Structures are given as structure tokens and as C-alpha cells.
Amino acid sequence: MTTDVMPESTLQAQMTRLRRFLSAYMPVAFLFGVVFLVLALIFRDPATGISGVAIIANGGVLLYALRSVQQGKVQAAVLATSVGLLAGGLIILLVQPFLFATPMLTPLLVVVLGLQYLTIQPLKRLIAASAGCSLIALSVGHLLPQGVMISNLPEWFKGALQIGGAGATAVFVMVLLWHFSALLNEMLSSLRTANRELEMQQVQLIRTNEQLQQQLASERELLNLVSALETPVVSLAEGVLLAPIVGHVDSRRADMLRARLLEAVHANRTRLMILDITGVATVDTSVAQALMMTIQALRLLGCRVVVSGISATVAMTLTHLGIDMSNIETVRSPEEALERLSRGDLPLRLPVLRNGNSTPGEL
């Protein structure tokens, strides 16, 4: 279990459970150690005395682990407890092999303890160490069935110690399993709560996305309306449209202007388009190029283009910029274009190139 990614409340509950476990296990270890020392004195059995010293030493390790938990060092406490249990179990097995049940259950106790409190890498090392201790215990039990020392304890007393030690270890294993179950339930509850919060956030995101889509649709409609207002197209007669251009013309507006005029010419089968630039105060190279490209595009659709409203300032600027307007028909105003159209001076026809010369040809 990776305790460093747990919620704060779960981590505090986990530390509380560990403190309770160590607080309960430590006095039991000291008690068993004292009992073994007393038995060693009564029966004059050095092996039992060594086991008692090992158990009391394990109690000291548990005391250190309890202080580490109080300082917030959970993993250090668990590792120290595990090492003490494994080492103590091996020592007892060497001197009193009839207590084999306790050393055999100790690796299980250590693994269950580590599962609750250690991160992945320390847990892997602890499981490997526990497996190694189990193999050593099996090998020692097979190779040294009588242990390294002869025990003077009566056989009936050995059986009682064996049952008591195994029972105490089994109780602590079950307690740890109960703690582990409680931890899993807490984590499951936290995951359910987080899942509900994620679902609520997802619903909120869906609603926000719908609102954004509605706003985008409204903005698109507004942009289309602004585009239509920026470049209105007025029908003056059958096949004749007027497009007054007002204000500054940048690249974005030039593209929108070209697209709108092409669409209008195609939809209305326009044969004459009057571009009125009276409202264009300044003209630079980009504006002039955009105007020329628009005129060329309209001509490709078979529409004659007349530019009106060129002021003296704009004319001077176009001259200085070197813009060739020789192929562009110009009039002073849209009214003049209509007058010429009514007189027949401005026929609804495009010039057609014949043998390199420009001559009028009917649409």
C-alpha cells in the first residue's frame, strides 16, 4: 500500500491502528521474554534463556518502532518491527526448534504488516526477506531437528510453550488481518467518494461545455451579422449590385469581403458589381492587393466590376504605391455608374481578349 498517496484522514487512521497494534504487542513481548527467563532459571535451561533474551530484544525493537510512529516515521517503524520479528524467530528456531510454529507464522505476520504500511519497493524487499526466512526455517528444521543446544525443559512444558507461542502469533496475525480489512474498507469508501465527486465534476463539465457551445454558436451568428453589416450588398437593378466598403480593411476583413461578394454574385447571377470605396479613408499596399484580388475573383465568375468613390488622397496613394489600375473601370460615384448604365455607356459585358487586344464581348 502506498501510504504517501493516501488522503490525510486515512493516513491518520492508519497510524492510529499501528500505534494500537504496537502498544498491544510490545508488553506481550516483554511478558513472554520475562517468562522465558524465569523458566530458564527454574529449569537451568540456557536455550530458554537465549529465547527469552531474543524476545525481550524484540520488545525493545517494538518500543523503538512505537516512538518512530509517534514521530510520523511509519515505514521506518514497520521495517524495524519486521526485522526484529524475523531475526527473533530465527534465533528461537535455532535454540528451541520445538517452537517451529512461531517462526513459521512470523513471515506471514510480517507480510500482512507490510501490506498495510509500506510502499511498493520496500514491500517487495520485505516479502523477499520473509520468503528467505521461511526457507531458512525449513532448512534448519530439517538439518538440525534438535537445535544447536539441548533443552532441559520437560516435554509436557515444551508442548504448552509451543501451543502458547503459536496461539499468540496467530492472534496477532488475525488482528493485523482485521486492520488490513478496515484499511481496505476505508480506501474503498474514499474511492467511492472520489468517484462521486468525479461524476459531479463530469456533469458540471458537460454543462459548461454545452454553455460554451451555445456561446460559440451565438458568437458565430454575431460574427456573420457583423460581416453582413460590414459589407452590405444592395441590389440596384436586375443583375447589378452595389457593395459599399466603409472603414479600415485588414486581412481578415478582406477575406470576409471577398467571400461575401463572391457568394452574392454567384447567388444572384450578377453581371455588374459596383465597389464603392468612398468610406475607405486610407489605402496601403495590402488594401490595394486585397481589392485587386477581389476584382479578379469576381471577374472569374463572369461579373463586370466598377470601382467608385476613389478620393484624391486614395488616388495619390495608389499612384505612389505603383498599383496598376489601368484595367480597372472607375467612376466617381455609384450614381454616375447608374447613369452610364442607363445611357448604355456601361454595358453589362466583360472585355474579351481577341488576338491580344481587349474588345467588348457579350456575356
Beta-bridge mates of residue 243: 275
Which pLDDT belongs to residue 4?
45
Alpha-carbon span 116 to 108, nearest angstrom: 13
DSSP H or E segment with residue 92: helix 74-95
**Average pLDDT in the chain:** 79
222 within a domain of the structure (yes/no): no
Q: Residue 145 pLDDT > 70, yes or no?
A: no
Model pLDDT for residues 242-294, shown as the tens digit of each residue: 888 887 777 777 888 888 888 888 888 888 889 888 888 778 888 888 888 88
Cell of 300: 472569374
210 within a domain of the structure (yes/no): no
Q: Residue 2 pLDDT > 50, yes or no?
A: no
Residues 252 and 168 in one domain: no
| Cα dihedral 91→97→100→102 (10° resolution) | -40
Residues 11 and 62 in one domain: yes
Distances (CA, A) of 37 to 56, 61, 63, 64, 258: 9, 18, 20, 22, 103
Q: Which is it for the CA torsion 92, 96, 56, 113, positive or negative?
A: positive
Local confidence band at 56 (pLDDT 50, 70, 90 cut-offs): very high
Local confidence band at 361 (pLDDT 50, 70, 90 cut-offs): very low
Alpha-carbon span 216 to 62, nearest angstrom: 65
58 within a domain of the structure (yes/no): yes
- The total domain count for the chain is 2
Residues 242 and 329 in one domain: yes
Phi, psi of 360 (to 5 degrees): -65, 140
Which pLDDT belongs to residue 53?
92
**Three-state DSSP class for 83?**
helix
Least confident residue range of 28-42, 152-166, 282-296, 315-329:
152-166
240-246/234-237 β-pairing: antiparallel
The pTM of the whole model exceeds 0.75: no
Residues 95 and 193 in one domain: yes
Model pLDDT for residues 82-91, shown as the tens digit of each residue: 888 888 888 8
Residues 240 and 310 in one domain: yes
Which pLDDT belongs to residue 223?
63
Least confident residue range of 10-14, 106-110, 171-175, 237-241:
10-14
103 within a domain of the structure (yes/no): yes
327 within a domain of the structure (yes/no): yes
Q: Residue 137 pLDDT > 50, yes or no?
A: yes
229 within a domain of the structure (yes/no): no
Residues 45 and 147 in one domain: yes
Report the percent of the chain where pLDDT is more than 90. 3
211 within a domain of the structure (yes/no): no
Residues 180 and 304 in one domain: no
Residues 274 and 355 in one domain: yes
Local confidence band at 359 (pLDDT 50, 70, 90 cut-offs): very low
Residues 61 and 123 in one domain: yes
Which domain range does residue 74 map to?
3-198
Task: Kindly state the DSSP code that residue 333 receives in the 8-state scheme.
Answer: S
DSSP assignment of 279-292:
E-----HHHHHHHH
Least confident residue range of 19-33, 154-168, 246-260:
154-168
pLDDT, mean of residues 91-108:
77
Residues 280 and 147 in one domain: no
Instruction: Give the CATH number of the domain where residue 289 resides.
Output: 3.30.750.24
Residues belonging to the chain: 363
Model pLDDT for residues 206-250, shown as the tens digit of each residue: 988 988 888 888 877 776 666 555 567 888 888 888 888 887 777
